[in-house]
Amino acid sequence: MNADLLDPDAVSRGEALGIMARKIVEGYRVGEHRSPFHGFAIEFAQHREYAPGDDTRHLDWKVLGRSDRYYIRQYEQDTNFVTHLVVDGSASMNYGSGKLTKLQFAKIMAACLAHIILLQRDAVALALVDGEIRESIPRTDNLQRIQHIMDRLSAFKATGGTNLGTALQQVSRGAGRRGIVIIISDLIDDEEGFGRALERFTYSGHEVIVFHTLDPYELTFPFDGTWEFRNLEGADRLKISPDDFRRSYLENIGAFQTRVRRICDKYQAHYLLVDTGKDLAETLSGYLAFRQKVGK
């Protein structure tokens, strides 16, 4: 059910910490992005052209009457960034050794982040991708749209192959104004393409956060006996004794994480390894607390 996508503990703890923009976003300096829960300001700041999903209560009807165009009135207290949530739905995300697959964990994380951001009266856009964008929801700052976001997340199935770099390039072309880009993926793909996409986001002025989402069995390889391993994105099968394979596998997965982290560092993206076997509330609140410290 869609309600299951909202982890109450993760939302509660995330709401208390908030998500602050670290870079200059839409002309505001870091630290000037204030929570609406601290009180509402009344000083008018600027107009912004209406986009689907905006709260129609903020439409300026006088401007509409004069120009026949829709504009939103923004105030000093209004939030000032858009977060683009990108959820990887390639077939490898179907893997899960426990209660949740990587994709299910990613959906819950995306839903909780969207809810927290909308509670702040900031805006959220959602892209569901595999080799390309499969579905997108335009940015919205309306909390009532959270149900629609959860509906689309819930219905999304991981069936395609991976070309995350291409999909992220598509997201970057449509992202427009500077904001935050959050990528939730196992990153099992062409690392050069991933790097080129991060470079484009950074060049456009976006802040990038990468949640590298892996299953605990992928991180520890706790298999014994004889197993047949299947490629979720192809027909390849490999029958091996895990004891003979464990050392080289752990070396390779460690090297993979190091390479991805270096790519993120190169383009000033925040990298967080997400173990789907751990509590989401702990993972999310820990990262948001870290952001508060480094943002000061």
pLDDT for 243 equals: 72
Q: Which two tokens stand for residue 4?
A: 């299951």
pLDDT for 159 equals: 77
Contact 179, 25 (CB under 8 A): yes
Give the pairing type, strands 227-230 and 270-275.
unpaired
- Kindly report whether the global pTM for this prediction surpasses the value 0.85: no
pLDDT for 83 equals: 92
pLDDT in tens, 69-107: 777 765 544 445 789 999 999 989 999 999 999 999 999
> Hey, which bits of 41-118 come out as E strands?
44-49, 71-75, 82-88
Q: Give per-residue burial for 104-134: e unless 16+ CB within 10 Å, then b.
A: bbbbbbbbbbbbbbbbbbbbbbbbbbbbebb
Q: Which two tokens stand for residue 81?
A: 């960034």
pLDDT in tens, 97-155: 999 999 999 999 999 999 999 988 888 999 999 989 999 999 888 888 999 999 999 99
pLDDT for 264 equals: 96
| Distance of alpha carbon 165 from alpha carbon 189, whole angstroms | 8
Residue 15 burial (CB count, 10 A) = 17
Per-residue pLDDT at 228 exceeds 70: no
Per-residue pLDDT at 215 exceeds 90: yes
| Distance of alpha carbon 184 from alpha carbon 87, whole angstroms | 5
Reduce the DSSP state of residue 5 to 3 states and report it.
Answer: helix
Per-residue pLDDT at 32 exceeds 60: no
Which domains, from first to last, does the chain contain?
2-23+79-294 (3.40.50.410), 41-75 (no CATH)
| Distance of alpha carbon 249 from alpha carbon 99, whole angstroms | 24
Percent of the chain with pLDDT over 90: 46
